[in-house]
Chains A and B, each alone.
Chain A
Amino acid sequence: MGTHNHTHNFSERFYFTGKPKSWSLIAIVIGVLAIAYGFLTNHAERTFANLLLMGYYFTCVCAAGLFFCAVQYMAQAGWSAGLLRIPQAFAKVLPIAALILIIICASGLFTHNLYHHWHSEEAAHDPVIIGKSSFLNVPFFLTRLVVFLGAYCIFGYFLTKYSNNEDLEGGMKNYNKSFALSAAFLVVFGFTTPIWAFDTIMSLEAHWFSTMFGWYNFAAMWVSGLSAITITVILLKRSGHLTWINDNHLHDLGKFMFAFSIFWTYVWFSQFLLIYYANMPEETVYFYKRWEPEYKPWFWLNIIINFVSPVLILMTRDAKRKEGMLLFVAILLLCGHWLDYYMMIMPGTVASERTFGIVEIGTAIGFVGLFSFLMLNALSKKSLVPVNHPFLDESLHHHI
């Protein structure tokens, strides 16, 4: 209270050099080698499933960064102003992530490694698939993917641009523009993310459907995005940056992760309970596949990592204010949501030939490296704080 003497160096920049850069590049090389290994050892379908998993995860985390910015503008939140540059960096990576996802989906589609449930010779004579074909056909599928992801990228571009202009010009003009743009973005995002999830993931098992699936994917996206933001904030803080971020900001991020882990469980369970209770064969097939011996342990582990552990670890106030604890939980949640996506994708693609080996680990490492490389590169382009953000002072004195 009453500390109006700013001792923070706002002109300080993050320079993307040294260890973070070399480790990111090494991770990318590992990823490329693992993918090449997968294709060369005749595991094309499995490699494509992994590429889809990580491509989708990567795009989701970047989109969640953009969503975070939009939510903060829309709520006119003050606490987050000091760390807004990090989700903005996520949003800047979104175009590349989206491009990679579109390439993976399109090539998987045309080489019949993905989506052959509704895109193959047999599917053409399947009455269920024919019934869905006015929506689920190749041109419309690709158009939707490109239009949705393109729209997110455009919103992301303008939102970061307004923040840049704000740094240079000051005043409320850019903030007001960001506010209006965020409102429009949230409407578009809210209506399109479920369809995006239906297209990319749910159509892997095109006979099955669940109206909860879109929100289930949204919850997974939001939790993993928040975890990625928390990890980035903590690691930057540990390397001596972001001196203005204190326990109170971390506490808020912790609350976010805690609350939305419960939200994820809520949606996951709603989907499960409806299918379990109605007990209709065309719906229960989804959980039968995930109840097979090769998936059952992972099915339970998914719930333990993504629900039980954040609830038990982050329940107390003190745990949310401890940097190390928060970092641990955030990393755990990121791994947990990898498993979550794994459970969504694998039974519908490689099915009983499920494996966990070089391709899975390598692809994941590669995409993590790609993400950290692109994101930190985007972060190093601007100062680490939006200096003319109207709520910056509130963020500096954030206290809960």
Chain B
Amino acid sequence: MSNTKYILGHFEDPDDMMHGIDKLQENNIGIYDVFTPMPIHGIESKLGYKRSRLPIAAFCFGLTGTITAFSLLYFCLVYDWPMNIGGKPAFAMPDFVPIMFELTVLFGSYGMCFTFFFKNHLFPGRAPRVMDLRATDDRFVIAIDAHKNPYPEKIDNLLKEAGAVEIKHNERKYVSYE
């Protein structure tokens, strides 16, 4: 067994790359991941990706915000220090609504943002891990796990047939540790 960890097929054209994905899938070769410089419609369903669970996280964060706002308002204005404001009862629900709404939005947006950063390893001091630098520029890259898929020659040929302009056999996963 060779030291090759990942086989990367470079394409110059997104349609060729989509064709390459079809070819590999027809031959039961599992695709590790695909890297493209721009979003491509229909690629998630083709690769069988599950939908992001970010909306569920957003809902939970939003709900946390609503409950926080309500608890704080209730504690301050009803329980701890009730005041007479415009002759209204201490527990004046309509007055609570704008603040509850705002805190829902605040928690929802910040929560979603930080969840996204955390999940994608985007935070200060973290060097980005990229499997191929040109995938961030002008190449469409299909990555195949070489250990799970034997016969590298066959994979090379399939990629070439589909129109790959360059094929790399990488011995390490990422090109840019630190």
Interface residues of A (CB under 8 A from B): 1-2, 269, 272-273, 276-277, 279, 317, 399
Contacts and interface: CB of A to CB of B under 8 A. Distances in A.
A269 B42 contact: no
A247 to B, nearest CB: 12
Contacts of B124: none
Nearest to A3: B42
Nearest to A400: B41
Given A279-B86, A399-B41, A273 B97 contact: yes
B97 A269 contact: yes
B33 interface: no
Contacts of A277: 86, 94-95
A2 B94 contact: no
Chain B's interface: helix, strand, loop or mixed, by majority?
Answer: helix
Given A1-B41, A399-B41, A273 B15 contact: no
Nearest to B14: A1
Chain B interface extent, by class: 10 to 19
Nearest to B19: A2
A273 B41 contact: no
Interface of B: 15, 18, 40-43, 46, 51, 55, 86-88, 94-95, 97-98
18 contacts: A1-B18, A1-B40, A1-B41, A1-B42, A1-B43, A2-B15, A2-B18, A269-B97, A272-B94, A273-B94, A276-B94, A277-B86, A277-B94, A277-B95, A279-B87, A317-B51, A317-B55, A399-B41
Contacts of A399: 41-42
Contacts of B95: 273, 277
A276 B86 CA distance: 11
A269 B96 CA distance: 12
Given A277-B94, A317-B55, 8 more contacts: A1-B18, A1-B40, A1-B41, A272-B94, A273-B97, A276-B94, A279-B88, A317-B51
**Most B-side CB within 10 Å, residue of A1, A276, A277:** A1
A374 to B, nearest CB: 39
Nearest to A278: B86
Contacts of A1: 18, 40-43, 46
